[in-house]
Structure 1
Amino acid sequence: MKLSSRLETIKNKVTKHYDHIWDCCCDHGQLGTALLASQPKSVIHFVDVVDELMVELESRLQKHALKVSSQWQVHCMDVAQLPIVPNKKNLVIIAGVGGDLLIELMRSIQSRNGDIELEFILCPVLHNYMVRCELIEMGFGLISETLVKENKRFYEIIHVSNQAAIPLTNIGSEMWDLLDVNHQEYLQKAISHYQRIEENSKGMNGVSDLYLRLRNSTFQF
Protein backbone atom coordinates (compact mmCIF):
# COMPACT_ATOMS: atom_id res chain seq x y z
CA MET A 1 0.00 0.00 0.00
CA LYS A 2 1.51 3.31 -1.11
CA LEU A 3 1.24 5.99 1.56
CA SER A 4 0.91 9.72 1.05
CA SER A 5 3.97 11.84 1.81
CA ARG A 6 2.42 12.89 5.12
CA LEU A 7 1.64 9.35 6.30
CA GLU A 8 5.00 8.04 5.04
CA THR A 9 6.77 10.72 7.09
CA ILE A 10 4.79 9.74 10.18
CA LYS A 11 5.58 6.05 9.64
CA ASN A 12 9.28 6.81 9.28
CA LYS A 13 9.30 8.56 12.66
CA VAL A 14 8.52 5.23 14.33
CA THR A 15 12.14 4.11 14.58
CA LYS A 16 12.18 2.22 17.88
CA HIS A 17 10.14 -0.52 19.48
CA TYR A 18 6.80 0.19 21.14
CA ASP A 19 4.67 -2.42 22.83
CA HIS A 20 1.52 -0.65 21.67
CA ILE A 21 1.04 1.79 18.78
CA TRP A 22 -2.31 3.61 18.62
CA ASP A 23 -3.35 4.83 15.14
CA CYS A 24 -6.06 7.28 16.21
CA CYS A 25 -8.74 8.78 13.97
CA CYS A 26 -7.39 6.15 11.60
CA ASP A 27 -10.09 6.46 8.92
CA HIS A 28 -9.37 3.60 6.49
CA GLY A 29 -6.33 2.42 8.46
CA GLN A 30 -3.63 3.05 5.85
CA LEU A 31 -0.99 4.15 8.35
CA GLY A 32 -1.67 1.38 10.84
CA THR A 33 -1.63 -1.22 8.07
CA ALA A 34 1.81 -0.01 6.98
CA LEU A 35 2.99 -0.20 10.59
CA LEU A 36 1.91 -3.86 10.74
CA ALA A 37 4.76 -4.59 8.32
CA SER A 38 7.36 -2.16 9.66
CA GLN A 39 6.75 -2.84 13.38
CA PRO A 40 6.02 -6.59 13.54
CA LYS A 41 6.71 -6.87 17.28
CA SER A 42 4.22 -4.16 18.25
CA VAL A 43 0.49 -4.42 18.84
CA ILE A 44 -1.10 -2.02 16.35
CA HIS A 45 -4.38 -0.47 17.53
CA PHE A 46 -6.77 1.05 14.98
CA VAL A 47 -9.03 3.63 16.64
CA ASP A 48 -11.92 5.63 15.17
CA VAL A 49 -15.39 6.61 16.30
CA VAL A 50 -17.11 5.77 12.98
CA ASP A 51 -18.63 2.31 13.34
CA GLU A 52 -19.02 1.60 9.61
CA LEU A 53 -15.36 2.33 8.94
CA MET A 54 -14.22 0.08 11.75
CA VAL A 55 -16.38 -2.85 10.63
CA GLU A 56 -14.99 -2.56 7.08
CA LEU A 57 -11.44 -2.15 8.35
CA GLU A 58 -11.63 -5.15 10.64
CA SER A 59 -12.86 -7.29 7.75
CA ARG A 60 -9.92 -6.20 5.58
CA LEU A 61 -7.43 -6.73 8.39
CA GLN A 62 -8.67 -10.26 9.00
CA LYS A 63 -7.73 -11.08 5.40
CA HIS A 64 -4.48 -9.13 5.50
CA ALA A 65 -3.40 -10.57 8.88
CA LEU A 66 -2.56 -13.90 7.29
CA LYS A 67 0.36 -12.19 5.53
CA VAL A 68 1.91 -10.50 8.59
CA SER A 69 3.01 -11.62 12.04
CA SER A 70 1.93 -8.45 13.85
CA GLN A 71 -0.84 -8.34 16.40
CA TRP A 72 -3.64 -5.82 15.90
CA GLN A 73 -6.86 -4.66 17.48
CA VAL A 74 -9.70 -2.51 16.17
CA HIS A 75 -11.46 -0.11 18.55
CA CYS A 76 -14.63 1.82 17.70
CA MET A 77 -14.39 4.45 20.42
CA ASP A 78 -13.72 8.06 21.34
CA VAL A 79 -9.97 8.71 21.27
CA ALA A 80 -10.41 10.83 24.41
CA GLN A 81 -11.06 7.56 26.29
CA LEU A 82 -8.00 5.79 24.88
CA PRO A 83 -7.04 2.82 27.11
CA ILE A 84 -3.28 3.39 27.37
CA VAL A 85 -1.64 0.18 28.59
CA PRO A 86 0.22 0.84 31.87
CA ASN A 87 3.79 -0.35 32.37
CA LYS A 88 4.24 -0.74 28.63
CA LYS A 89 5.80 1.45 25.93
CA ASN A 90 2.92 3.24 24.15
CA LEU A 91 3.00 5.52 21.10
CA VAL A 92 -0.14 7.47 20.24
CA ILE A 93 -0.50 8.85 16.70
CA ILE A 94 -3.17 11.48 16.03
CA ALA A 95 -3.31 12.89 12.50
CA GLY A 96 -5.83 14.46 10.19
CA VAL A 97 -7.87 16.40 12.77
CA GLY A 98 -8.13 20.10 13.54
CA GLY A 99 -6.14 21.75 16.27
CA ASP A 100 -9.09 22.35 18.59
CA LEU A 101 -10.09 18.68 18.59
CA LEU A 102 -6.50 17.50 18.85
CA ILE A 103 -5.95 19.62 21.98
CA GLU A 104 -9.17 18.32 23.49
CA LEU A 105 -8.08 14.72 22.89
CA MET A 106 -4.57 15.35 24.25
CA ARG A 107 -5.86 16.95 27.43
CA SER A 108 -8.26 14.08 28.05
CA ILE A 109 -5.57 11.43 27.51
CA GLN A 110 -3.16 13.31 29.75
CA SER A 111 -5.71 13.75 32.55
CA ARG A 112 -6.44 10.02 32.50
CA ASN A 113 -2.76 8.98 32.32
CA GLY A 114 -0.82 11.84 33.87
CA ASP A 115 1.41 9.63 36.01
CA ILE A 116 2.96 7.62 33.14
CA GLU A 117 5.18 8.34 30.14
CA LEU A 118 3.17 9.67 27.22
CA GLU A 119 4.56 9.83 23.69
CA PHE A 120 2.71 11.22 20.67
CA ILE A 121 3.20 11.81 16.97
CA LEU A 122 0.81 14.61 16.01
CA CYS A 123 -0.18 16.10 12.67
CA PRO A 124 -2.93 18.71 13.02
CA VAL A 125 -4.53 20.07 9.87
CA LEU A 126 -5.04 23.54 11.41
CA HIS A 127 -3.90 25.80 14.25
CA ASN A 128 -0.33 24.55 14.62
CA TYR A 129 0.73 27.52 16.72
CA MET A 130 -2.12 26.99 19.18
CA VAL A 131 -1.39 23.25 19.37
CA ARG A 132 2.26 23.92 20.14
CA CYS A 133 1.40 26.44 22.86
CA GLU A 134 -0.95 23.95 24.50
CA LEU A 135 1.64 21.16 24.32
CA ILE A 136 4.21 23.40 26.00
CA GLU A 137 1.69 24.22 28.73
CA MET A 138 1.02 20.50 29.23
CA GLY A 139 4.74 19.87 29.74
CA PHE A 140 5.64 18.06 26.52
CA GLY A 141 9.14 18.22 25.05
CA LEU A 142 10.36 17.64 21.50
CA ILE A 143 11.65 14.39 20.01
CA SER A 144 11.52 15.51 16.38
CA GLU A 145 9.52 17.66 13.98
CA THR A 146 9.16 17.75 10.21
CA LEU A 147 7.47 20.05 7.72
CA VAL A 148 5.76 18.26 4.82
CA LYS A 149 4.09 19.66 1.70
CA GLU A 150 1.40 17.47 0.17
CA ASN A 151 -1.12 18.43 -2.51
CA LYS A 152 -0.25 22.12 -2.09
CA ARG A 153 -0.92 21.99 1.67
CA PHE A 154 1.63 22.09 4.46
CA TYR A 155 1.65 19.88 7.56
CA GLU A 156 3.75 20.06 10.70
CA ILE A 157 4.47 16.59 12.07
CA ILE A 158 5.47 16.84 15.72
CA HIS A 159 6.86 13.96 17.79
CA VAL A 160 6.66 14.78 21.51
CA SER A 161 6.91 13.14 24.92
CA ASN A 162 6.32 14.24 28.48
CA GLN A 163 9.81 12.84 29.18
CA ALA A 164 11.69 14.57 26.33
CA ALA A 165 14.44 16.97 27.38
CA ILE A 166 14.47 19.20 24.27
CA PRO A 167 12.13 22.19 24.72
CA LEU A 168 9.25 22.45 22.26
CA THR A 169 8.87 25.90 20.70
CA ASN A 170 5.65 27.54 19.57
CA ILE A 171 6.81 28.20 15.98
CA GLY A 172 9.11 25.22 15.55
CA SER A 173 12.87 24.91 15.75
CA GLU A 174 14.28 21.76 14.16
CA MET A 175 11.84 21.46 11.25
CA TRP A 176 12.96 24.56 9.33
CA ASP A 177 15.31 24.57 6.34
CA LEU A 178 14.92 28.07 4.94
CA LEU A 179 17.17 27.28 1.99
CA ASP A 180 14.24 25.12 0.82
CA VAL A 181 11.76 27.10 -1.29
CA ASN A 182 8.84 25.12 0.17
CA HIS A 183 9.85 26.15 3.68
CA GLN A 184 10.19 29.75 2.52
CA GLU A 185 6.68 29.55 1.10
CA TYR A 186 5.23 28.10 4.29
CA LEU A 187 6.94 30.69 6.45
CA GLN A 188 5.65 33.56 4.33
CA LYS A 189 2.13 32.10 4.46
CA ALA A 190 2.36 31.86 8.26
CA ILE A 191 3.51 35.49 8.53
CA SER A 192 0.67 36.71 6.28
CA HIS A 193 -1.91 34.55 8.09
CA TYR A 194 -1.08 35.87 11.55
CA GLN A 195 -0.76 39.44 10.33
CA ARG A 196 -4.36 39.20 9.08
CA ILE A 197 -5.50 37.73 12.40
CA GLU A 198 -3.75 40.47 14.37
CA GLU A 199 -5.49 43.14 12.30
CA ASN A 200 -8.88 41.77 13.35
CA SER A 201 -8.25 40.34 16.80
CA LYS A 202 -6.50 41.19 20.03
CA GLY A 203 -6.03 37.54 20.99
CA MET A 204 -2.83 36.67 19.12
CA ASN A 205 -0.81 39.87 18.98
CA GLY A 206 2.88 39.31 18.34
CA VAL A 207 2.63 35.91 16.68
CA SER A 208 3.56 37.18 13.22
CA ASP A 209 6.59 38.92 14.76
CA LEU A 210 7.86 35.53 15.97
CA TYR A 211 7.79 34.19 12.41
CA LEU A 212 9.32 37.39 11.08
CA ARG A 213 12.22 37.09 13.53
CA LEU A 214 12.73 33.48 12.42
CA ARG A 215 12.90 34.58 8.81
CA ASN A 216 15.17 37.56 9.42
CA SER A 217 17.59 35.77 11.74
CA THR A 218 17.96 32.67 9.60
CA PHE A 219 17.73 33.54 5.93
CA GLN A 220 16.88 36.55 3.84
CA PHE A 221 14.64 36.01 0.84
Structure 2
Amino acid sequence: MIKVLLVEDDVRLADALAGALETSGFEVAQVRTAAGALEAAPVDVVLLDLGLPDMDGIELCARLRDRHDFGDTAIIMVTARGRQRERIRGLRSGADDYVVKPLAIEELCARMEAVLRRTRPRHDPAVRVGPLRLDLDARTVSGAEGPIELTRKEFDLLAVLVREEGAVVSREQLLLRVWRTTWPGTLRTLEVHVGTLRSKLGVPGLIETVRGVGYRIAAAGPADAAAPTAASGPVRTGRS
Protein backbone atom coordinates (compact mmCIF):
# COMPACT_ATOMS: atom_id res chain seq x y z
CA MET A 1 0.00 0.00 0.00
CA ILE A 2 1.28 3.49 -0.87
CA LYS A 3 2.19 5.50 2.24
CA VAL A 4 1.37 9.22 2.24
CA LEU A 5 2.47 11.95 4.65
CA LEU A 6 -0.03 14.82 4.65
CA VAL A 7 1.51 18.07 5.92
CA GLU A 8 -1.45 20.43 6.42
CA ASP A 9 -2.23 22.75 9.37
CA ASP A 10 -5.94 23.19 8.51
CA VAL A 11 -7.42 20.40 10.64
CA ARG A 12 -10.78 20.16 8.87
CA LEU A 13 -9.23 20.14 5.43
CA ALA A 14 -6.57 17.63 6.46
CA ASP A 15 -9.11 15.24 7.98
CA ALA A 16 -11.35 15.41 4.92
CA LEU A 17 -8.44 14.89 2.52
CA ALA A 18 -6.98 12.05 4.59
CA GLY A 19 -10.34 10.29 4.69
CA ALA A 20 -10.76 10.55 0.91
CA LEU A 21 -7.25 9.23 0.31
CA GLU A 22 -7.75 6.31 2.69
CA THR A 23 -10.98 5.44 0.88
CA SER A 24 -8.95 5.45 -2.33
CA GLY A 25 -6.57 2.85 -0.89
CA PHE A 26 -3.70 4.97 0.47
CA GLU A 27 -2.20 4.76 3.96
CA VAL A 28 -2.13 8.32 5.36
CA ALA A 29 -0.23 9.90 8.26
CA GLN A 30 -0.94 13.52 9.19
CA VAL A 31 1.24 16.26 10.70
CA ARG A 32 0.35 19.92 11.23
CA THR A 33 3.82 21.49 11.27
CA ALA A 34 7.16 21.44 9.50
CA ALA A 35 8.75 20.12 12.70
CA GLY A 36 6.37 17.16 12.61
CA ALA A 37 7.23 16.50 8.97
CA LEU A 38 10.97 16.55 9.71
CA GLU A 39 10.45 13.98 12.48
CA ALA A 40 8.24 11.69 10.37
CA ALA A 41 9.27 8.30 9.07
CA PRO A 42 9.97 7.96 5.33
CA VAL A 43 6.93 7.53 3.07
CA ASP A 44 6.20 7.13 -0.64
CA VAL A 45 4.55 10.53 -1.13
CA VAL A 46 4.52 13.81 0.81
CA LEU A 47 1.56 16.14 0.22
CA LEU A 48 2.87 19.49 1.37
CA ASP A 49 0.97 22.68 2.17
CA LEU A 50 3.09 25.84 1.92
CA GLY A 51 1.43 27.98 4.60
CA LEU A 52 2.67 26.17 7.71
CA PRO A 53 2.86 27.91 11.10
CA ASP A 54 6.53 27.24 11.84
CA MET A 55 8.24 27.21 8.42
CA ASP A 56 7.47 28.05 4.82
CA GLY A 57 6.63 24.89 2.87
CA ILE A 58 9.17 25.67 0.17
CA GLU A 59 11.97 25.69 2.75
CA LEU A 60 10.61 22.49 4.25
CA CYS A 61 10.62 20.83 0.82
CA ALA A 62 14.28 21.70 0.35
CA ARG A 63 15.14 20.33 3.81
CA LEU A 64 13.29 17.08 3.14
CA ARG A 65 15.19 16.72 -0.12
CA ASP A 66 18.46 17.00 1.83
CA ARG A 67 17.50 14.00 3.98
CA HIS A 68 19.00 10.77 2.74
CA ASP A 69 15.96 8.69 3.78
CA PHE A 70 13.60 10.98 1.82
CA GLY A 71 15.72 10.94 -1.34
CA ASP A 72 13.29 8.73 -3.30
CA THR A 73 10.13 10.23 -1.81
CA ALA A 74 7.74 11.99 -4.18
CA ILE A 75 6.81 15.49 -2.96
CA ILE A 76 3.67 17.21 -4.24
CA MET A 77 2.88 20.72 -3.10
CA VAL A 78 -0.85 21.24 -2.45
CA THR A 79 -1.49 24.93 -1.83
CA ALA A 80 -3.73 27.92 -2.48
CA ARG A 81 -0.75 29.83 -3.89
CA GLY A 82 -1.39 29.76 -7.62
CA ARG A 83 0.91 32.43 -8.97
CA GLN A 84 3.49 31.36 -11.52
CA ARG A 85 6.36 32.67 -9.41
CA GLU A 86 5.29 30.45 -6.51
CA ARG A 87 4.97 27.43 -8.76
CA ILE A 88 8.49 27.94 -10.10
CA ARG A 89 9.92 28.39 -6.58
CA GLY A 90 8.18 25.23 -5.43
CA LEU A 91 9.41 23.08 -8.27
CA ARG A 92 12.94 24.44 -7.98
CA SER A 93 13.00 23.63 -4.27
CA GLY A 94 12.62 19.94 -5.11
CA ALA A 95 8.90 19.30 -5.52
CA ASP A 96 7.85 16.76 -8.15
CA ASP A 97 4.49 18.44 -8.78
CA TYR A 98 2.52 21.52 -7.75
CA VAL A 99 -1.26 21.43 -7.28
CA VAL A 100 -3.45 24.47 -6.55
CA LYS A 101 -6.43 24.20 -4.19
CA PRO A 102 -9.29 23.54 -4.47
CA LEU A 103 -8.81 20.23 -6.22
CA ALA A 104 -10.70 17.02 -6.98
CA ILE A 105 -9.52 13.92 -5.13
CA GLU A 106 -9.51 11.99 -8.41
CA GLU A 107 -7.01 14.46 -9.89
CA LEU A 108 -4.79 14.31 -6.81
CA CYS A 109 -4.75 10.49 -6.90
CA ALA A 110 -3.92 10.54 -10.61
CA ARG A 111 -1.08 13.02 -10.01
CA MET A 112 0.36 10.88 -7.21
CA GLU A 113 0.26 7.79 -9.41
CA ALA A 114 1.93 9.67 -12.28
CA VAL A 115 4.69 11.04 -10.04
CA LEU A 116 5.36 7.60 -8.56
CA ARG A 117 5.68 6.10 -12.04
CA ARG A 118 8.40 8.66 -12.77
CA THR A 119 10.25 8.53 -9.46
CA ARG A 120 10.08 4.87 -8.44
CA PRO A 121 12.80 2.54 -9.72
CA ARG A 122 11.74 0.22 -12.50
CA HIS A 123 10.60 -3.20 -11.33
CA ASP A 124 9.97 -6.52 -12.92
CA PRO A 125 6.34 -6.28 -14.04
CA ALA A 126 5.92 -10.07 -14.10
CA VAL A 127 4.14 -11.43 -11.01
CA ARG A 128 3.45 -15.06 -10.09
CA VAL A 129 0.24 -15.75 -8.20
CA GLY A 130 -0.32 -19.46 -7.66
CA PRO A 131 -0.34 -21.03 -11.13
CA LEU A 132 -0.86 -17.67 -12.85
CA ARG A 133 1.63 -15.26 -14.40
CA LEU A 134 0.66 -11.59 -14.67
CA ASP A 135 2.51 -8.87 -16.53
CA LEU A 136 1.22 -5.68 -14.93
CA ASP A 137 2.77 -3.43 -17.59
CA ALA A 138 1.68 -5.40 -20.65
CA ARG A 139 -1.67 -6.21 -18.96
CA THR A 140 -1.48 -9.91 -19.78
CA VAL A 141 -2.33 -13.09 -17.90
CA SER A 142 -1.39 -16.71 -18.54
CA GLY A 143 -2.07 -19.93 -16.68
CA ALA A 144 -1.31 -23.63 -16.79
CA GLU A 145 -3.42 -24.05 -19.93
CA GLY A 146 -2.11 -20.99 -21.73
CA PRO A 147 -3.35 -17.41 -22.21
CA ILE A 148 -6.36 -16.13 -20.29
CA GLU A 149 -8.51 -13.46 -21.95
CA LEU A 150 -9.73 -10.78 -19.55
CA THR A 151 -11.66 -7.60 -20.14
CA ARG A 152 -10.08 -4.30 -19.10
CA LYS A 153 -12.09 -4.06 -15.86
CA GLU A 154 -11.43 -7.70 -14.98
CA PHE A 155 -7.69 -7.14 -15.33
CA ASP A 156 -7.87 -3.90 -13.32
CA LEU A 157 -9.72 -5.72 -10.55
CA LEU A 158 -7.19 -8.56 -10.48
CA ALA A 159 -4.25 -6.13 -10.55
CA VAL A 160 -5.55 -4.19 -7.53
CA LEU A 161 -5.91 -7.38 -5.51
CA VAL A 162 -2.51 -8.71 -6.57
CA ARG A 163 -0.72 -5.45 -5.74
CA GLU A 164 -2.09 -5.61 -2.18
CA GLU A 165 -0.22 -8.92 -1.69
CA GLY A 166 -2.87 -10.71 0.33
CA ALA A 167 -4.25 -7.71 2.24
CA VAL A 168 -8.01 -7.34 2.29
CA VAL A 169 -9.36 -4.72 -0.13
CA SER A 170 -12.78 -3.40 0.79
CA ARG A 171 -15.60 -3.32 -1.73
CA GLU A 172 -15.64 0.47 -1.50
CA GLN A 173 -11.93 0.69 -2.33
CA LEU A 174 -12.34 -1.65 -5.29
CA LEU A 175 -15.23 0.40 -6.64
CA LEU A 176 -13.22 3.59 -6.35
CA ARG A 177 -9.95 2.21 -7.75
CA VAL A 178 -11.47 0.24 -10.64
CA TRP A 179 -14.74 2.06 -11.46
CA ARG A 180 -13.90 5.49 -9.98
CA THR A 181 -17.13 5.58 -7.99
CA THR A 182 -18.41 4.73 -4.51
CA TRP A 183 -22.09 4.53 -5.52
CA PRO A 184 -23.58 1.51 -3.68
CA GLY A 185 -25.55 0.58 -6.79
CA THR A 186 -22.29 -0.51 -8.41
CA LEU A 187 -21.71 -3.26 -5.82
CA ARG A 188 -23.63 -5.75 -7.96
CA THR A 189 -21.33 -4.95 -10.88
CA LEU A 190 -18.32 -5.69 -8.66
CA GLU A 191 -19.79 -9.02 -7.55
CA VAL A 192 -20.49 -10.05 -11.15
CA HIS A 193 -16.93 -9.17 -12.20
CA VAL A 194 -15.46 -11.14 -9.27
CA GLY A 195 -17.54 -14.17 -10.21
CA THR A 196 -16.57 -13.96 -13.88
CA LEU A 197 -12.91 -13.44 -12.98
CA ARG A 198 -12.89 -16.50 -10.74
CA SER A 199 -14.42 -18.56 -13.54
CA LYS A 200 -11.90 -17.40 -16.15
CA LEU A 201 -8.87 -17.86 -13.91
CA GLY A 202 -9.94 -21.38 -13.00
CA VAL A 203 -8.05 -21.37 -9.67
CA PRO A 204 -10.50 -22.19 -6.86
CA GLY A 205 -9.78 -20.28 -3.68
CA LEU A 206 -7.42 -17.76 -5.27
CA ILE A 207 -9.76 -14.79 -4.76
CA GLU A 208 -11.13 -15.03 -1.24
CA THR A 209 -14.27 -13.29 -0.01
CA VAL A 210 -13.91 -11.64 3.40
CA ARG A 211 -17.51 -11.54 4.52
CA GLY A 212 -18.84 -8.06 5.15
CA VAL A 213 -15.57 -6.40 4.06
CA GLY A 214 -14.26 -7.23 0.59
CA TYR A 215 -11.81 -9.52 -1.17
CA ARG A 216 -8.18 -10.58 -1.11
CA ILE A 217 -5.76 -12.78 -3.00
CA ALA A 218 -4.99 -15.99 -1.13
CA ALA A 219 -1.42 -16.34 0.13
CA ALA A 220 -0.87 -19.11 -2.42
CA GLY A 221 -2.87 -21.04 -4.97
CA PRO A 222 -3.97 -24.64 -4.45
CA ALA A 223 -1.04 -26.91 -3.59
CA ASP A 224 -1.72 -29.22 -6.52
CA ALA A 225 -2.07 -26.41 -9.07
CA ALA A 226 0.28 -26.80 -11.99
CA ALA A 227 2.70 -24.02 -12.79
CA PRO A 228 2.46 -22.40 -16.25
CA THR A 229 4.37 -24.28 -18.87
CA ALA A 230 7.22 -22.69 -20.77
CA ALA A 231 5.09 -22.73 -23.91
CA SER A 232 2.28 -20.80 -22.27
CA GLY A 233 2.29 -17.25 -23.53
CA PRO A 234 0.36 -14.24 -22.34
CA VAL A 235 -2.42 -12.50 -24.16
CA ARG A 236 -3.34 -8.84 -24.15
CA THR A 237 -6.54 -7.99 -22.38
CA GLY A 238 -9.62 -6.86 -24.23
CA ARG A 239 -12.03 -4.07 -23.40
CA SER A 240 -15.04 -4.30 -21.14
TM-score (norm: length of structure 2): 0.34
Q: Which structure carries more relative contact order (alpha carbon 8 Å, separation 6+)?
A: 2
TM-score (norm: length of structure 1): 0.37
